[in-house]
Amino acid sequence: MTQPPRVVRVTLETGDPLRCVVCRDDRFEKRAWKLNTTGMEFAGLAWANRNALCYVCVKCRFIHWFDEDGR
For the cut 60, the answer to whether the pLDDT of residue 62 exceeds it is yes
Burial group, residue 28, by CB count within 10 angstroms (0-12, 13-18, 19+): buried
- Give me the half-sphere count of Cα atoms (radius 13 Å) on the Cβ side of residue 22: 11
Angle, CA 27 vertex, CA 36 and CA 47 arms, to 5°: 15
pLDDT, position 7? 93
Q: Which pLDDT tens digit goes with each residue over 2-60? A: 667 789 999 998 999 999 999 999 999 998 776 655 555 546 555 555 678 899 999 99
State whether residue 10 is helix, strand or coil: coil
pLDDT, position 36? 59
pLDDT, position 59? 97
Amino acid (1-letter code) at residue 23: C
pTM of the model: 0.72
Backbone torsions φ then ψ of 46, nearest 5 degrees: -55, -30
